[in-house]
Amino acid sequence: MTTAPDARAAARRMYAAFNARDYDAVAAVFTPGFRSHPLGTTGPAAVAAAWRRFHDAHPDAQVVVESLVVEDGTVAARTTVRGVRDSAEPPTMLEMFRVENGRIAELWGLSSLARR
């Protein structure tokens, strides 16, 4: 069973890796069978590829965690994405993820970001 502190730490590692453009860290942050429900992808390599595409489109992007709610192995995060081009105000995201053994196993999310 994943504890709340483990789940909180996994969330912080994910956002820190995204902001640092540390694509190699995804293997340590996500489980091998990780599933992104919004993107319909699986595995850490798909995460790294998605992050790269996003950073290519928005090189100044940084995720700022506004709220983080943790219960056992589930995390809900409300974030703002700063540095996004063509955006009058910073987009917001609401993500929920399930943590297994200190790594993110599944993610669901809603975003005000426009998909291209």
Tens of pLDDT, residues 20-67: 999 999 999 999 999 999 999 999 999 999 999 999 999 999 999 999
Output the six-digit token pair for 109.
């999310």
- Provide the CATH number for the domain around residue 49: 3.10.450.50
How is the chain classified by DSSP, letter by letter?
---HHHHHHHHHHHHHHHHHT-GGGHHHHEEEEEEETTTTEESHHHHHHHHHHHHHH-TT-EEEEEEEEEETTEEEEEEEEES-TT-SS--EEEEEEEEETTEEEEEEEEE-SPP-
Tally of domains in the chain: 1
Q: What is the pTM for the complete model shown? A: 0.93
- Domain-embedded: residue 34: yes
pLDDT band with cut points at 50, 70 and 90 for residue 75: very high
Instruction: Give residues with Cβ within 8 angstroms of 104, minimum separation 6.
Output: 10, 11, 14, 29, 30, 31, 34, 97, 98
- Domain-embedded: residue 45: yes
Q: What percent of the chain has pLDDT over 90?
A: 85
Question: What average pLDDT does the chain have?
Answer: 94
- Domain-embedded: residue 116: no
Measured distance CA(2)–CA(49) in Å, rounded: 27
